[in-house]
Amino acid sequence: MKLLIVVPCYNEEAVLAETTRRLLSVAGQLTAQGKVDEAGILYVDDGSRDRTWQLVQQAAAAHKQVGGLKLAHNVGHQQALWAGLEVAAAEADAAVSIDADLQDDVQAIFQMVDHWLEGADIVFGVRRERKTDTVFKRTTALAFYSLMRRMNGDMVYNHADFRLMSRRALQALVSFPERNLFLRGMVASLGFPTATVYYDRSERFAGESKYPFGKMLSFAIDGITSFSVRPLQYISLLGLLFMFISFCAIIYGVCAYFEGRAIAGWTSLLVSLWFIGGALLLACGIIGEYVGKIYKEVKRRPRYFVEQRV
């Protein structure tokens, strides 16, 4: 059994040596305990502009367990991770994905492997607390997770991209042909037996976050729009609501007219305003339904995955 630890890196020269040291120790213990026959580390250099790739090359030369993949251009965390997972799906029996910055506890990998050996195909690493994150990051993250959950029930709360996937789950994942990736949602939607490992998240070991607020926001929007057609459906609901208001406005307007409280022309204006608004929104919503269908169709996702056959 071969385990591959996939680590996307973007300008991570400050942490790389320590990351290699800690992951090698985990890999060494796993093989020593006989849990896996082979454990390797695969760095995916996401078009870094610092010395990250040189460090990966050095590490690969020094340790046979370490490998590297250099992407020609910065394509973002999710795409870089995908590149590594594609390699893992072809070459390993399981893959653990972890960030390079050591915020996720590498010790949790042992429990992940245990769950995998007990039959789980996907093991989610879930942050127990967010003590070390800033208040700002904590609140925005909380808002994001609850919004995501409302949009799509499959989301795992407080789980980022620290997880283990079996070969079967990896192959299912890489058969998704879509380009817009929101891995934590996609993985949660696969099905297959899952397990959860809790860990404390620490501070970044060194270097700076590669996710400033702008990137975080666009990641959140990406997450919703590349995963859910609910926002489109909400337009129809809004349209129906406006139609309902227009109906109330009609009753109110007509009553006011007969009671003589209405200024000439007000009733017709009031009623048509709400009615046209509602009709337009509803029309947008109907178009949205079709757009949603097209959206699902162009993704060409596999229809199902077989878990077992007897």
| Residues lying near ligand UDP in the complex (CB under 6 A) | 8-10, 12, 46, 74, 76-77, 80, 99-101, 103, 209-211
Does an H or E element contain 197, and which?
strand 194-199
Cα separation, 79 vs 46, whole angstroms: 9
CB of 173 to ligand UDP, least distance (A): 18
Q: Which does 45 bind (CB under 5 to 8 A by kind): Mg ion, ligand UDP, none?
A: none
Cβ–Cβ under 8 Å, residues 196 and 1: no
CB of 209 to Mg ion, least distance (A): 6
Closest CB to Mg ion among 105 and 121?
105
Distance from CA of residue 302 to its chain's centroid?
19
Binding mask 57-96 toward Mg ion (x if CB under 5 A, else -) reads ----------------------------------------
Bridge partner residues of 122 (DSSP): 165, 194
Closest CB to ligand UDP among 101 and 105?
101
CA angle 140, 77, 42 (to 5 degrees): 135
Phi, psi at residue 174, to the nearest 5°? -75, -5
Task: For residue 87, give the amino acid letter.
Answer: V
CB of 56 to ligand UDP, least distance (A): 12
Q: Which does 76 bind (CB under 5 to 8 A by kind): ligand UDP, Mg ion, none?
A: ligand UDP
Closest CB to Mg ion among 205 and 305?
205
Cα separation, 260 vs 51, whole angstroms: 80
CB of 103 to ligand UDP, least distance (A): 6
Phi, psi at residue 207, to the nearest 5°? 80, 180
Q: Going by DSSP bridges, is the β-strand pair 159-166/94-97 parallel, antiparallel, or unpaired? A: antiparallel
Q: Which does 100 bind (CB under 5 to 8 A by kind): Mg ion, ligand UDP, none?
A: ligand UDP
CB of 231 to ligand UDP, least distance (A): 24
Q: Which does 220 bind (CB under 5 to 8 A by kind): Mg ion, ligand UDP, none?
A: none
Where in 99-128 is the site for Mg ion (CB under 5 A)? Answer: 99, 101, 103
Count Cβ neighbours within 10 Å for each residue of 23-46 and write b for 16 or more, e otherwise. Answer: bbebbeebeeeebbeebbbbbbbb
Closest CB to ligand UDP among 82 and 227?
82
Binding site for Mg ion (CB under 5 A): 99, 101, 103
